[in-house]
């Protein structure tokens, strides 16, 4: 996990040092970011009216919104197969509970994006702008299955480009220096500064930030996004071993 500047000249301070991490339980990760169509099912099933699906703080946040329904989808970002953007962390977590899943940890996300060889990009170590949604293509999100030649080693789409993806971890620039080996989960809420939540993957921007190891943070995680560049995907820990040959049989 993380980056070695000797191997990757674009390695950022908050990705260092590169270090060995053990993920001790197998997990599924969504093949795609959550789409407008997928999120619409949660809304249609009464997700915004069921307090069971929300954290205590999330339900309090929801009831204080001027509009307690799902936020509107931005024009041009509203196709069923485009990523759902513009949500708060509270809404993502409520959707995750409805799905009986979770936001992935950074470790889970990075392993799915980079694999055991810690690739710089999901497809390898060479930058290739035709493998992901970059600003040189179109200034909006694209369908989540648009770039099959950019999938990661485990078959996950859009692990870079298209939208930033929120993780479960709170952000700290020096967290990797702690060298947490088993199932790292970021700093605690008490240690987290200024509402910083960690995002991975990048959106349609330049080559430096479009790397599978890139980490950024946003503040005020309770706000709905004013920039249609943030989405999410979910993970689910597997309680029992599964046949490796069956690992792609279910699209979460």
Q: Specify if 248 maps to a domain.
A: no
pLDDT at residue 240 in the model: 52
The DSSP result for 29-97, as a single string, is E-SSPPBHHHHHHHHHTTGGG-GGGS-HHHHHHHHTSSS-SPPPPPTTS-STTSBP-S--HHHHHHHHH
Across the chain, what does the average pLDDT equal?
88
Q: Do the beta carbons of residue 30 and residue 252 sit within 8 Å?
A: yes
**Parent domain of 202:** 1-239
Q: Specify if 61 maps to a domain.
A: yes
Lowest mean pLDDT among 9-23, 139-153, 174-188, 191-205: 191-205
pLDDT value at 100 more than 80: yes
pLDDT value at 105 more than 60: yes
Dihedral class, residue 107 (left if φ above 0, else alpha if ψ from -120 to 50, else beta): alpha
Q: Specify if 252 maps to a domain.
A: no
Q: Specify if 152 maps to a domain.
A: yes
Peptide bond into 17 cis (omega under 30): yes
pLDDT at residue 153 in the model: 97
Quickly state the pLDDT bin for 225 (edges 50, 70, 90): low
Q: Specify if 117 maps to a domain.
A: yes
Count of structural domains, the chain: 1
Q: pLDDT tens digits for 137-166?
A: 577 899 999 999 999 999 999 999 999 999
Quickly state the pLDDT bin for 81 (edges 50, 70, 90): very high
Q: Specify if 97 maps to a domain.
A: yes
Of 194, 32, 1, residue with least CA distance to 108: 1
Q: Specify if 153 maps to a domain.
A: yes
Q: Specify if 146 maps to a domain.
A: yes
CATH of the domain at 91: 3.90.1580.10
Evaluate if pTM is beyond 0.85: yes
pLDDT value at 244 more than 60: no
């Amino acid at each position: 996990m993380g980056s070695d500047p000797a191997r990757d000249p674009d390695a950022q301070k908050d990705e260092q040092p590169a270090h060995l991490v053990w993920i001790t339980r197998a997990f599924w990760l969504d093949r795609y970011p959550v789409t407008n169509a997928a999120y619409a099912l949660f809304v249609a099933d009464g997700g915004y009216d069921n307090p069971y699906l929300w954290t205590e703080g999330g339900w309090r946040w929801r009831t204080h919104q001027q509009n307690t329904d799902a936020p509107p989808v931005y024009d041009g970002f509203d196709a069923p197969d485009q990523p759902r953007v513009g949500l708060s962390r509270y809404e993502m977590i409520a959707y995750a509970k409805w799905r009986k899943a979770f936001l992935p940890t950074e470790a889970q996300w990075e392993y799915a994006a980079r694999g055991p060889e810690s690739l710089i990009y999901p497809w390898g170590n060479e930058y290739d702008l035709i493998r992901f949604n970059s600003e040189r293509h179109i200034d909006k999100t694209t369908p989540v299955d648009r770039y099959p030649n950019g999938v990661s080693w485990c078959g996950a789409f859009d692990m870079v480009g298209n939208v930033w993806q929120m993780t479960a971890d709170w952000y700290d620039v020096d967290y990797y220096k702690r060298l947490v080996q088993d199932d790292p989960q970021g700093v605690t809420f008490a240690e987290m500064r200024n509402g910083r939540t960690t995002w991975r993957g990048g959106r349609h921007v330049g080559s430096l930030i479009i790397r599978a190891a890139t980490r950024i943070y946003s503040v005020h995680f309770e706000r709905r996004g004013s920039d249609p560049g943030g989405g999410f995907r979910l993970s689910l820990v597997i309680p029992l071993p599964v046949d490796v040959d069956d690992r792609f049989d279910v699209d979460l």
